[in-house]
Structure 1
Amino acid sequence: MTSKKPAARNKSGKTKPEKKTRETRESRETKETKETKETTEAQETREPTETREARVPPQSAPPEREVAVSPAVHAADRERLLHGTHHDPHSVLGAHPVPGGVAFRAFRPRADAVTVVSADVRAELHDDGDGFFSGLLPLTGIPAYRLLVTYDGTAHETEDAYRFLPTLGDLDLHLIGEGRHEELWRALGAHVTTRQGVTGTRFAVWAPNARGVRVTGGFNFWDGTGFPMRSLGATGVWELFVPGIGEGELYKFEITRPDGSRTLRADPLARRTEVPPATSSIVHVSRHEWGDAEWLARRADTPVHAAPFSVYEVHLPSWRPGLTYRQLAEQLPAYVSEMGFTHVELMPVAEHPFGGSWGYQVTGFYAPTARLGTPDDFKYLVDRLHQAGIGVLMDWVPAHFPRDAWALAEFDGRPLYEHHDPLRAAHPDWGTLEFDFGRREVRNFLVANAVYWCEEFHIDGLRVDAVASMLYLDYSREPGQWTPNEHGGRENLDAVAFLQEMNATVYRRCPGVVTIAEESTAWDGVTRPTHLRGPSGFGGLGFGLKWNMGWMHDSLQYMSHDPVHRRYHHGEMTFSMVYAYSENYVLPISHDEVVHGKRSLVSKMPGDWWQQRANHRAYLGFMWAHPGKQLLFMGQEFAQGAEWSEAHGPDWWLLDPAYGAEADHRGVRDLVRDLNALYGATPALWQLDTDPAGFEWITGDAADDNVFAFLRRDADGTPLLAVSHLAPVVRHDYRIGVPEEVPAWAEVLNTDAARYGGGDVGHPEPVKPEPQGAHGRPASIRLTLPPLATVWLRPA
């Protein structure tokens, strides 16, 4: 008989060593029997099941000297299995050589009967109560067997999940333990696989603080009692191979916390999820066949900072509300191609429970949102964009995550993905939790996630959200709410190391991919390589590009002033050139600038409707000529007047010919299309974007005239002259100094052209320089500057 009293536990929840006087397994078995068992178990560990089965005849009689023991699950193991706190159910359940033969043990709650079936054996197991069944068969080896389980009089034949060896190898576990598994999604999560000729799903999850983990889902009627997972040692990984479970199954992990309570959690590495507000993970198998080999082969030919880069920012659920990924694939590539953008930037695609967060509060970091289709449907969209010659950037949000009780927050009962210090964990602005960048497994989760999107979904770039909130310990915190780093500073050294590791890993593994930082401060070296140190002593963060938030803020502030007051704010348009070459910049007019009462781009402009549109067009002309790449949020390309809302998206009806003033909006759309076409065909506008040799001021101090004039040059020195006149008057014979080597200048863009909705004041014929000096140059041209307009000229 064995004691039914549970094993004593210490405060950590681990089983205490039993006293010598207590009844133990050693007192129940002879020394010879124990040695036989240990030898057999060692062979089990070293040899695959198939080898053991082939080596031993299935029904050989056991040696007579062995004394049979009870095959029933011992009381302590039974108690732990019932309460979901067993760390090694495979050592108890399944088939095990014991003195007297092979013990078969099954844990099938609510089953009426369990029978072991093999080629030569059919034996019903004894019902031990509480869903446990056991039997001792006089065999010397473990046969290939199945279980016949009877529920309510109906028998179901199935494989025994507890007869399989671990499916994760030593290398996987070593890399996970070191936080260096760059393909983490291949090790953890749910994967349909075949073991010993049996197809099923391998489940694996990192939960180092858990006392036990069970798999639950539709396949077991959301009762995980009979599906406990095994702990794979110090890595904190739990694993179970469930035969017969395949693609499309819903599942979650039932975790027993350190205090004994239970929590039901979605898989942090689920590659597919239910449509919110449902929260289950789904077993996924990708079947998409890519057709973008040509795109990938030439993607890395030219560095991004030295190539055309004009971005259309899109919120997929609201671009054309109601469209799926596959329907978007029929419309979005055609529209973006027609407009001439080189890339689209998708606001966060990873799964998120609250649509009103626009995707910036992520719970499913490895799953495209199910609102628009399956992961393969999203791959199809990316594929079609690539085949249309359009790069795909994606917003990526590693700064924080929401507190949903079924997701990452206190995942296994204690802070795990978040920092253990509540002050460090709580994001002060968004009510979310910040990742613990100092924990190697958390860094691994995020670094592998960045690689995952680039490799599995062929994403061409990651725009990293809210970088500043990661970099500073005192971000949005008052004195006393943060603790300085080890050097007494406010820099988050763990976040710096994480961003450097992420960038270095992505650039090493994914040629041609670009990472872009949304960083709103003057942090030194955001786009500096990670191995180079700057004046601050930190190595570069390693990004490819950085959003120029300063340019955006200053230039929009200038444009919002009435022209009569702009002379007092002239420096807001010129200051960006003081630091233009300190980083590799993107000029962003993003979604953040057209929501929450900030008004749409055209509505920020002063004056009547004609002047607002003129200002809008002139500003875009200035933006496309300014050093740096361009980004424009959807709707701004046709001067949408209303703020963007995720509920209805852009006001496409403004482009409908049935609308009386359609030329107002169509003209702006045509301008953006022409800007992109000219931009791509003019190397002076992008080839030396990060080289001061590519820019020369003609006049940056004509404040009284509201005029800005500068040259852009390509690698051969060929210039483009850009002149912005931001006053609502016509200026005749306005003299501009120019290089004397150019014999004539032809107007190639005028935002005041009639086809754009302007007054058509321009220069239909080439303009020849005169030998009269201006702006420090020996030659000059006389221009008629249209009101509120930007004009581009290049050598005729």
Structure 2
Amino acid sequence: MPKKNAPVLVKNDPWLEPYEGEITDRIERFETRKKELIATYGSVRDFASGYDYLGFNYDRKKKGWWYREWAPAAEQLSLIGEFNQWDREATPMTRNEGDIWEVFLPDSDHKASLTHGSMVKVHVRTPHGGMDRIPAYARYVTQDEKTYDFTARLWNPDKPYQWKVKNFSGKEAYEAPYIYECHVGMAQEKAGLGTYKEFADNILPKIHEQGYNAIQVMAIQEHPYYGSFGYHVSNFFAPSSRFGTPYDLKYLIDKAHELGIAVIMDIVHSHAVKNLAEGLNEFDGSDDQYFHPGGRGVHSQWDSKLFNYGKEEVLRFLLSNVKYWIEEFKIDGFRYDGVTSMLYFHHGDVSFDHYEKYFRDVDWDVLTYFQLANTLIKELNPHALSIAEDMSGMPGLCRPVSEGGMGFDFRLGMGIPDYWIKLLKHKQDEEWNIHDMWGTLTNRRFGERTIAYAESHDQALVGDKSIAFWLMDKEMYSHMHKDHDSLIIDRGIALHKMIRLFTLALGGEGWLNFIGNEFGHPEWVDFPREGNDWSYQYARRQWSLQEHPDLRYQHLYNFGKDMVNTARNNGLVEALPARQLNMDEQNQTLIFERNNLIFAFNFSPTNAVPDYRFRVPKAGKYQVILNSDRGEYGGHDRIDDEMSYPTVTLFGEHFLSIYLPNRVALVLKRKD
């Protein structure tokens, strides 16, 4: 039995009793660090206001600009730019307390004053020589289209952005998230870069129509290589200028809020690009300023640099980054990239098959960072979402810090899409085991909420295939017309719908879809690179396929839209987990109940079952509210949705009898 004063996490999970000391240490380390920050800065919130001091900040009293930079190992810093003709001797900076370099540029000095859009860099002289660098807290960075050179620009427009929606809480998405994962640059049909404004005007209405209450936006933080999908970040405070200005991003967020859609951004604090010219690497001439020194500071698989989360100025940089996006851009939450890699020195390159492995090779500084970050997020916005991309299953990841957890709201159900891909690759339809399917979709840590998804961007990237591509492959190029008969397409459309509904209904307390997957986008994602002659052919979404009245992509889109709206209207993901009602191996049929909805799945390729009788919890009349076999969803209209199904009571139990065709999913609801 756990001790009386044991952390709540241990009391709720007896398997954690041997690790009570480690979990208690989590809480104590957090409390100690928090007290230290409060003693020095007044509060964690004030500590996380580094961007109000470092970088470029306007002094209204003195009428001019301060520029400050933390660079302990540097010999000299000088601000350079258009304002001083890039003269490395003209504007030297002074080292002050805490290894902060600073310079003040008064408005009165017209030869040295900064204006909106001014191009600036900082020249850093180190024992190894001098180099022009991008300021660490730069808020707007642009790339020259010819030279690819990155340059910081002062962002100081005459008028601040006028928000139309001033107070958006995002409460609905926090309680029951239906997330549309997307990438602004590849969201348009044109073979080129999409913009924030195009996304807001063209894509947000489609997302709203489909019932999603949140978007998870990739590649927002500035990154030098487009093909990195935004995961090799160079400038953490700068919205990517590829897609427009900071105002354009605010326009997108404002438009989303008008539609009731929360905006979650992929935040990359797991690593940073190793480039010297654009990023933080060796900024002050040392290899241990922002990152760990030597091999510990290098992620060999990702070819990137790893932060030292135990260092105060690094912690300040990252927490300030969290606060900046919420305060400045009204971001409604974060999906933390690479959480498993951050948590463990081995970066997750093990099999987590025993509790002991959750507590071995852990970077405790990362745990404290997550606890501080999630505490800060909730202080800034109680309904902001915090989602962990974690495949380890670390206990307490999504429990409150006070219980010994790390404070995340959700973890991604990363094993689910892997399961579907393996099933499609290695098993014939007749071999699909309904008990394995049920077990995989319901296997998650008790009390910790999960975002379920059948596929994400990982499955759509070159090197793999989306579910639609695994199911239908090259047939999609020749037989997606309504008038073309194809058993492959019929099977693919039927299973695509069933897999997605099965995952949504069983897999978690939230749902996620990657842009285009809802209508079975026929191609992978491949960004411009040398290997494809720098083509945008596959870095786009072909909405015209979904919109074409004679193509079957619309059937998948229609089903996906009605699936999400049915789930939202019936409080599905926020409900308790599903309960089994019937498991039929012979017919590959599963029937279960969740939040008073009855879900019936027949995965059999051949066995249509007439007069299929099964037990239900409540007596009454039931009606089909979602039917994957409807013609508008690409089905065969074998079921009359207008029919009412009364229960029959036998021996005190209530039974329904329905016709359940092969490769069909039905959702039934009791009529009042």
Contact 2:68 2:103 in 1 (8 A): yes
2:132 aligned with 1:264: yes
Give the match for residue 495 of structure 2: 615
> 1: distance between equivalents of 2:434 and 2:346?
32
Change in 2 beyond 3 A, CA 1:333/1:251: same
CA offsets per residue over residues 33-86 of structure 1, 9 Å max, x none? xxxxxxxxxxxxxxxxxxxxxxxxxxxxxxxxxxxxxxxxxxxxxxxxxxxxxx
Which of 280, 303, 317 is the matching residue for 1:408? Answer: 280
CA offsets per residue over residues 687-710 of structure 1, 9 Å max, x none? 32xx4xx531113x4233221211
Greater C-alpha Rg: 1
Q: Secondary structure at the match of 1:579?
A: coil
> 2: distance between equivalents of 1:500 and 1:204?
28
Give the match for residue 451 of structure 2: 586
Give the match for residue 334 of structure 1: 205
Give the match for residue 677 of structure 1: 565
2:587 aligned with 1:705: yes
Which of 420, 431, 436 is the matching residue for 1:571? Answer: 436
Contact 1:179 1:444 in 2 (8 A): no
> 1: distance between equivalents of 2:194 and 2:522?
23
Alignment-mate amino acid for residue 585 of structure 2: A
CA offsets per residue over residues 748-796 of structure 1, 9 Å max, x none? 00111111111112243011122347xxx82221221122121100002
Alignment-mate amino acid for residue 580 of structure 2: W
> What TM-score comes out, normalization by structure 1 length?
0.70
Contact 1:418 1:425 in 2 (8 A): no
> 1: distance between equivalents of 2:669 and 2:436?
26
Which of 165, 170, 186 is the matching residue for 2:52? Answer: 186
**C-alpha deviation, 1:174, in angstroms:** 5.8
5 Å-filtered alignment, 1:433-452, equals: 433-452=305-324
Which of 519, 537, 545 is the matching residue for 1:654? Answer: 545
Contact 2:348 2:392 in 1 (8 A): no
Alignment-mate amino acid for residue 733 of structure 1: D
Give the match for residue 733 of structure 1: 611
**C-alpha deviation, 1:290, in angstroms:** 1.0
Structure with the bigger RCO (C-alpha within 8 Å, sep 6+) is 2
5 Å-filtered alignment, 1:190-589, equals: 190-196=56-62, 199-233=63-97, 235-243=98-106, 244-257=113-126, 259=127, 261-275=129-143, 277-285=148-156, 287-296=160-169, 299-300=170-171, 304=174, 306-307=175-176, 309-320=177-188, 321-406=192-277, 407-475=279-347, 489-532=360-403, 539-560=404-425, 563-568=428-433, 570-579=435-444, 581-588=446-453, 589=455
Q: Secondary structure at the match of 1:394?
A: strand
Alignment-mate amino acid for residue 677 of structure 1: N
Change in 2 beyond 3 A, CA 1:665/1:222: same
> 2: distance between equivalents of 1:567 and 1:375?
49
Contact 2:409 2:449 in 1 (8 A): yes
Contact 2:193 2:242 in 1 (8 A): no
> 2: distance between equivalents of 1:669 and 1:179?
43
Contact 2:519 2:557 in 1 (8 A): yes
Change in 2 beyond 3 A, CA 1:280/1:491: same
> 2: distance between equivalents of 1:600 and 1:529?
35
> 2: distance between equivalents of 1:436 and 1:176?
23
Contact 1:179 1:441 in 2 (8 A): no
> 2: distance between equivalents of 1:687 and 1:655?
30
Q: Secondary structure at the match of 1:223?
A: coil
**C-alpha deviation, 1:389, in angstroms:** 1.1
Q: Which has the higher mean CA deviation after the structures are superposed, 583-592 or 274-283?
A: 274-283
Give the match for residue 794 of structure 1: 669
CA offsets per residue over residues 77-96 of structure 1, 9 Å max, x none? xxxxxxxxxxxxxxxxxxxx
Give the match for residue 470 of structure 2: 604
Contact 2:342 2:363 in 1 (8 A): yes
**C-alpha deviation, 1:328, in angstroms:** 2.3
Contact 1:724 1:789 in 2 (8 A): yes
Change in 2 beyond 3 A, CA 1:200/1:501: same
> What TM-score comes out, normalization by structure 2 length?
0.83
> 2: distance between equivalents of 1:707 and 1:561?
20
CA offsets per residue over residues 9-36 of structure 1, 9 Å max, x none? xxxxxxxxxxxxxxxxxxxxxxxxxxxx
Contact 2:94 2:102 in 1 (8 A): yes
Q: Secondary structure at the match of 1:677?
A: helix
Q: Secondary structure at the match of 1:621?
A: helix
**C-alpha deviation, 1:426, in angstroms:** 0.7
CA offsets per residue over residues 414-444 of structure 1, 9 Å max, x none? 0244444322101021110111111111111
> 2: distance between equivalents of 1:264 and 1:358?
26
Unaligned runs of 5+ in 1: 1-170, 479-483, 533-538, 714-718
2:644 aligned with 1:644: no
Change in 2 beyond 3 A, CA 1:789/1:177: closer
Give the match for residue 139 of structure 1: none
Give the match for residue 752 of structure 1: 629
5 Å-filtered alignment, 1:689-700, equals: 691=576, 694-699=577-582
Contact 1:316 1:347 in 2 (8 A): yes
Change in 2 beyond 3 A, CA 1:596/1:322: closer
> 1: distance between equivalents of 2:44 and 2:378?
21
Contact 2:79 2:120 in 1 (8 A): yes
**C-alpha deviation, 1:563, in angstroms:** 5.0
CA offsets per residue over residues 479-521 of structure 1, 9 Å max, x none? xxxxx99x99311111111111111111112231111000011
Contact 2:417 2:456 in 1 (8 A): no
Change in 2 beyond 3 A, CA 1:645/1:293: same
Contact 1:192 1:285 in 2 (8 A): no
**C-alpha deviation, 1:182, in angstroms:** 1.2
**C-alpha deviation, 1:213, in angstroms:** 0.8
Change in 2 beyond 3 A, CA 1:474/1:507: same
Same amino acid, percent of matched pairs? 26
Contact 2:589 2:600 in 1 (8 A): yes
**C-alpha deviation, 1:178, in angstroms:** 10
Change in 2 beyond 3 A, CA 1:398/1:331: same
CA offsets per residue over residues 449-477 of structure 1, 9 Å max, x none? 01111111011110000100000112267
Alignment-mate amino acid for residue 310 of structure 1: Y
> 1: distance between equivalents of 2:390 and 2:270?
12
Change in 2 beyond 3 A, CA 1:623/1:567: closer
**C-alpha deviation, 1:172, in angstroms:** 13
> 2: distance between equivalents of 1:350 and 1:361?
9
Which of 507, 510, 533 is the matching residue for 1:629? Answer: 510
CA offsets per residue over residues 248-290 of structure 1, 9 Å max, x none? 1111111111x25112110111010113623111111252011
Unaligned runs of 5+ in 2: 1-36, 107-112, 351-355, 473-486, 528-535
Alignment-mate amino acid for residue 726 of structure 1: F
> 2: distance between equivalents of 1:736 and 1:598?
39
